[in-house]
Amino acid sequence: MKKLLLKITFLAVGITICTISAFAQEQRTLAGIIKSAGNGERLPFATVLIKGTTKGTTTNVDGHFSILQAPASKLTLQITYIGFNPKEIELEAGEDMLDLAIELSDTQISLDEIVISAENYKFMNASSGISTYKVSPQQMHSLPSFGETDIFRSLQLLPGISGTNESSSGLYVRGGTPDQNLVLLDGMTVYNVDHFFGFFSAFNADAVKDVQVYKGAFPAKYGGRLSSVVDMTGKSGDQNQFHGGVSLNMLNAKAYVQVPLFSKGSFVLSARRSYTDIIQSGLYNSIFDVFNQTSANDTQTPQQGAGGGGAAGGPGGGRGGNFGGNLQGLDVATVEPDFYFYDLNSKFNFNPSDRDVISLSLYNGQDYLNESNDNSRTIDARGNQPSRRIDRGVYELNEWGNRGASLKWSRQWDARFYSNILVAYSNYFSQYNRDVNIGIYNADADTLQLARNNGTFEDNDVTDLTFRIDNEFQLNAQHKLDFGLWATESKTDYDFIRNDTLTILDRSQESWYLAAYAQDTWNPMPDLSINAGIRATYFGATEKTYVSPRLSAKYKLNDKVSFKAAYGKHYQFVNRIVNENITEGSRDFWLLADDDLLGVSSADHYIVGVSHETQDFLFDVEAYRKDLSNLSEFSLRFQRNDIDISRLFFSGTGIAQGIEFLLQKKTGKFNGWVTYTLAEVFHTFPDLNEGNSFPALHNQQHEFKLVNSFELGDWTLGLTWVYGSGKPYTEPEGYYNIELLDGREFSYTSVGTKNGSQLPAYHRMDFSAHYGFNIGKSEVDMGMSIFNLYGRKNIWYREFDFTELPPSITDIRYLGFTPNLSLSINF
Amino acid sequence: MDRINLYILIISLFGVVSCTDDAVELEEDRFVVEAFLFANEPVSGIRVKGIIPLNDPDSVAPLITEARVLLMKDGNNYELSVNEDDEYEYTGNDLTVSTGDIFDIEVTYGDITATASTVVPAPTTGLQISESEILLPEIVLPTPGGGGGFGGGGATAVREAIMSILSNSLIVEWDNPNQELYFMVVENLVDELDPIFPDRIANRLRRFRFVSEPTNENFMEFSLANLETFGQHVIKVYHVNQEYADLYENLNQDSRDLNEPPSNIKNGLGVFSAFNSQNVYFDVKKE
């Protein structure tokens, strides 16, 4: 396998050498840069097309493009970019034009000379590739949100990406989990994308220029993850003019500045912080009052034997072991968390020449979440038992965050050849501390009968250092080659301690991997595009090489209908492990694969689809299947008294499959989309659930999403509705006794079938309204958003407390009706 | 535009189909099998039980009497029947439980079939105790007002008598060269109970009650404080299998992470295990 890796490396070098000989053969080449007219920023992944033909290309991450073998006659270039007005440029007949500089204006600016063409995507472009979306962060503000324009929350509205996970901004893409997504910000890997209780993502939309989402069978350039890629490019800033802005909503404030540096570069700084720990606005309090009141209304008085037959049911009569009936007899309580977060993005951008870009990008974000709470409940006298009061105090503190830095130098050597060298550092940290004190009192005499204490401490740290070289070489009009190297050194630490002294897991790992890739985008005929690539990765921890072939093809049957298919093999070397916790909800941590406790996980993606695209509409259908192996899970539910960590990890396989429908109104004042996904994801672990397949925690059979945006003068209105069928969970199903040899009886709690129960369906409607106007040269936007417009009581998870029998059960709910106001000023 | 309407219709139809609400139960209830086989004894006392609901912990698990219970050995099936105690037993005389026998059990109730397997372990050998006859002082509490009560000389005699019992123990030994699992039970064989301790003292001593767990040692110490009556006693030392020992391993269930009690019952709960034992007797007499 090492030889294969070397061969691919030599191939990559050989291609580089071929560049020189091939270059002189072309007669008419068009090349240049696409920029924003507003601030001069280069626009990545913009589409450049010769009008009336299918010949075209997309700009690279630095906004460069080149079209070989373009007609020497007079022609028109069409340039489109999400969130910007399309532009057509007429080029006279002649020779090569290698230094074209084309500026696009964003859709908020109306210019007379702009020719509006058919292509004018408002928010996202779903037709650019197979399972690929281009998304404009600038346009996201028109979508409803939890008070803050949020990139990942907006991505959750896309087809195939679950939109029902309020507790996490992470993306569940086609049956995958958030850890299976490669999330890159200016080349830095971001391991955890959650902010603020999971309601916000860790990325400030003010700092991000472009988002590319690959939902499956992604290009060979990317690797190390099973599910998807989210590649974000940070704003580089205006090199000629100072810009700034401030924003405020009921939960946080943010600001940014763009400072030109000697007309050769720029500096961008953006910061965001919630202030709910300092000032709790009236609205903030009322939000949680509504939240608490709603839950309190659901509290039900304990009723013995409400389980649907109880013990008397017996054979044939139903034993009432199902939780649906039991819920009626149990207490429900709520938790009000205390939290704050901040993040800081900065980027230095320097252009020593038109061909070179040097940038330094820094990111730092952190969260503090305190879910400590006290509660008390009284159990009525029963038999000889007096009335008892149970006081329960919980200290629960959770801190997590990401830090990262990347240094990039890229150069457009000539019209055909582009290189990008990157060094990136990334760190994710997470600390969790929970301490529970329980006192059981005789309620009448107020005397302590029993005191108990238990605690949990978890500390997880992930660090990686990456060096990348990515190259693009336009061999000729039919072939475009991508090739490069990717080396990463990773380190993970994880401690899991119970009750201060019992170390359940203490693991420190370090390893590296080296990957080489090559990929050819081949257009054998005008209507057919084939993308074939291979990526080989040598992973130090296992001393093995993992080969990942990638293949995709798109065929245009006519101007409107396209067929597409793709296959990709993907590996993942660092894993997020879900610590299944039946009673309090599951947590997770990161560990490196090592072929000891955790194997290197893999996925085979199969995708087929068809799309029908008109001037204003896109109808797209994609079916997919993913075969997953070496999935990992961690659980203490099967532990014995002796802690043997090898018995806490479980390995298995999975199948995720589904079909996605998308109908998008791409253009116009009224635009948006409706999407439906029918899907399932099942896992099979030989040592779990009797070896039977079980639905994954994120399994969701149906998901329906409606996204609308409407522009009315200075007003922009947004309305979204999300429906998802209930997600599975594991519930305790009851008790049973075993009589032992000495006549004693031991009682056991039976944990039900893994993920064998299902929460109620999730649905939610959000609304937003924005009003934009100018004060002098400043642009002002006033907004209002309502999250969960009709106050649906969606359940996040159920918490069980077995301190006393019957146990108390807490339905941890998502947010109810939550309005917010925002104000932003840009100058 | 017609096509667009068609697309809207397609997606809407799927959307309508998707709009199911509320919890859906995905599985039927499991049941509990409690089946122990004893070498050289008839097959009896096998129970099939339901699960006690979460919200009714004081209820009694219903015994299931409509199940079909099959024992299998050497390719032969033996169907068990229900007796008057609602327990399953084998009434024929063609089934023996002998050392090394491998038994399978299959319990079918409703649409669920639970299965398990066990092997009859070798008998306990080399069992011996340090004393076969134990002489204990008779404890007579002084009557209040007659002899100074507990604080007088009578009390001292009582205290000394109790301490002499508490400080002594029996040592029970057996062969266990391979560190296999054994479990010890002590039973009183007399019909008419003659208590060693008066009630007032017995209640205080109850916390010292002998509680054994499976051990891989070759001995066990039995404190005389665990004795409750005079008379003949038997010590049974069972050679047990891992599935039985697992029942003790998982008693420390933690509400944060419920442990699934390891069960050798596939598609069900409980335990199916076999035992072989050796007995030794001792007599407790008054001094």
Query: CB neighbours of B160 closer than 8 A, spacing ≥ 6?
Result: none
More confident position, A358 or A27? A358
For residue A328, name the pLDDT band (cuts at 50, 70, 90).
Answer: very low
Q: Measured in Å, how far apart are chain B's first and last C-alpha atoms?
A: 107
Comparing alpha-carbon positions, the chain B residue that sits nearest to A760 is: B22
Query: B29, B257, B272: best mutation site toward chain A, by most A Cβ within 10 Å?
Result: B257
Residues β-bridged to residue A478: none
Name the percent of chain B in helix, strand, coil, to the closest 5.
20, 35, 45
- CA dihedral of A314, A317, A319, A322, whole degrees rounded to 10: 170
Tell which residue, A662, A657, A694, A690, has the closest CA to residue A676: A662
Q: Which residues does chain A have within 8 Å of residue B20's beta carbon, measured at their own beta carbons?
A: 702, 725, 761
Given a cut of 50, is residue A15 above it in pLDDT? no
Q: What is the pLDDT of residue A385?
A: 67
More confident position, A733 or B77? B77
Task: Mark yes or no for CB contact B53/A584 under 8 Å.
Answer: no
Task: Mark yes or no for CB contact B55/A307 under 8 Å.
Answer: yes
For residue A110, name the pLDDT band (cuts at 50, 70, 90).
Answer: very low
Based on DSSP, count helices (H) and strands (E) in chain A, helices before strands.
5, 47
Task: Mark yes or no for CB contact B17/A702 under 8 Å.
Answer: yes
CA distance A174 to A168: 16
Q: Is there a contact between B114 and B70 (Cβ–Cβ < 8 Å)? A: no
Q: What is the pLDDT of residue A212?
A: 92
For residue A612, name the pLDDT band (cuts at 50, 70, 90).
Answer: very high
Residue A585, chain B, CB below 8 Å: the answer is no
Tell which residue, A237, A162, A173, A181, has the closest CA to residue A206: A237
CA distance B238 to A224: 54
Query: CB neighbours of A277 closer than 8 A, spacing ≥ 6?
Result: A338, A339, A340, A368
**Helix/strand/coil (H, E, C) string of A533-583?**
EEEEEEECCCCEEEEEEEEEEEEECCCCEEEEEEEEEEEECEEEEEEECCC
Q: What is the pLDDT of residue A164?
A: 83
Total residue count of chain B as it appears in this document: 287
Mean pLDDT (whole number) for A773-786: 91
- Phi/psi of residue A657, each to 5°? -150, 155
Ramachandran bin of A117, using left for φ above 0, alpha for ψ from -120 to 50, beta for the remaining angles: beta
Q: What is the pLDDT of residue A743?
A: 83
Q: What is the pLDDT of residue A531?
A: 95
CA distance A732 to A767: 38
Mean pLDDT (whole number) for A345-355: 91
Q: In A208-243, which positions are buried (b, 16+ CB within 10 angstroms) versus exposed (e)?
A: bbbbbbbbbbbbbbbbbbbbbbbbbbbbbbbbeeeb
Given a cut of 80, is residue A403 above it in pLDDT? yes
Given a cut of 60, is residue A21 above it in pLDDT? no
Q: Which residues does chain A have within 8 Å of residue B64's beta carbon, measured at their own beta carbons?
A: 314-315
Residue B2, chain A, CB below 8 Å: the answer is no
Sign of CA dihedral A590, A596, A600, A603: negative
Q: What is the pLDDT of residue A372?
A: 82
Q: What is the pLDDT of residues B129-174, one digit of tens each?
A: 988 888 888 877 776 655 444 444 567 777 777 777 777 888 899 9
Task: Mark yes or no for CB contact A319/B269 under 8 Å.
Answer: no
Report the Cα A795 to chain-centroid distance in Å. 21
Given a cut of 90, is residue A363 above it in pLDDT? yes
Q: Is there a contact between A725 and A702 (Cβ–Cβ < 8 Å)? A: yes
The interface predicted TM-score (ipTM) is 0.83
Q: What is the pLDDT of residues B180-224, one digit of tens each?
A: 999 999 888 887 778 887 776 666 555 444 667 899 889 988 888
* Of A572-586, A676-690, A756-770, the least confident: A572-586
Q: What is the pLDDT of residue A487?
A: 96
* Of A59-63, A226-230, A497-501, B9-13, the least confident: B9-13
B95: amino acid identity, one letter: L
* Of A198-207, A423-432, A631-640, A767-776, the least confident: A631-640
Residues β-bridged to residue B284: B134, B231
Mean pLDDT (whole number) for B261-274: 89
* Of A28-37, A341-350, A805-814, the least confident: A805-814
Mean pLDDT (whole number) for A177-188: 93
CA distance B104 to A720: 58
Q: What is the pLDDT of residue B256?
A: 43
Q: Which residues does chain B have within 8 Å of residue A454's beta carbon, measured at their own beta carbons?
A: 254, 256
Count of CB pairs separated by less than 8 Å, A with B: 258
* Of A376-380, A589-593, B41-45, the least confident: A376-380
- Using DSSP's 3-state secondary structure scheme, residue A149 falls into coil
Q: What is the pLDDT of residue A641?
A: 46
Q: Is there a contact between B14 and A678 (Cβ–Cβ < 8 Å)? A: yes
Sign of CA dihedral A19, A20, A25, A27: positive
CA distance B271 to B274: 10
CA distance B249 to A641: 6
Q: What is the pLDDT of residues A135-158, one digit of tens each?
A: 888 777 778 876 677 888 889 999
| Average pLDDT score over chain B | 81
Q: What is the pLDDT of residue A371?
A: 75
**Which residues between 293 and 332 in chain A have a beta carbon less than 8 angstroms from any beta carbon of chain B?**
302-316, 318-326, 328-330
* Of A508-512, A692-696, B10-14, the least confident: B10-14
Given a cut of 60, is residue A405 above it in pLDDT? yes
Q: What is the pLDDT of residues A111-134, one digit of tens each?
A: 444 444 444 666 778 777 888 988
Other Cβ atoms less than 10 A from the Cβ of A461: the count is: 17
Mean pLDDT (whole number) for A48-77: 86
Tell which residue, A100, A41, A20, A112, has the closest CA to residue A66: A100
Q: What is the pLDDT of residues A204-244, one digit of tens each?
A: 888 898 899 999 989 999 999 999 999 999 988 888 889 99
Q: Which residues does chain B have within 8 Å of residue A636's beta carbon, measured at their own beta carbons?
A: 254, 256-257, 259
Q: What is the pLDDT of residue A197?
A: 64
Comparing alpha-carbon positions, the chain B residue that sits nearest to A316 is: B110
Task: Mark yes or no for CB contact B29/A318 under 8 Å.
Answer: yes
Judged on CB neighbours under 10 Å (0-12, 13-18, 19+), A535 is buried
Task: Mark yes or no for CB contact B59/A661 under 8 Å.
Answer: no
* Sequence-ordered strand ranges (E) for A371-446: 373-379, 388-412, 417-442
CA distance B49 to B37: 17
Q: What is the pLDDT of residue A111?
A: 40
Angstrom distances, CA of residue A61 to CA of A35, A359, A360, A484: 12, 12, 15, 15
More confident position, A160 or A95? A160
Q: What is the pLDDT of residue A108?
A: 52
Given a cut of 90, is residue A820 above it in pLDDT? no
Give the whole-number percent of chain A exceeding pLDDT 90: 37
Give the whole-number percent of chain B exceeding pLDDT 90: 43
- Using DSSP's 3-state secondary structure scheme, residue A758 falls into strand
**Which residues between 228 and 247 in chain B have a beta carbon less than 8 angstroms from any beta carbon of chain A?**
236, 238, 240, 244, 246-247
Comparing alpha-carbon positions, the chain B residue that sits nearest to A583 is: B256
Sign of CA dihedral B56, B57, B58, B62: positive
Task: Mark yes or no for CB contact A636/B61 under 8 Å.
Answer: no
Other Cβ atoms less than 10 A from the Cβ of B19: the count is: 12
Per DSSP bridges, beta strands A528-539 and A544-556 are antiparallel
CA distance B201 to B203: 5
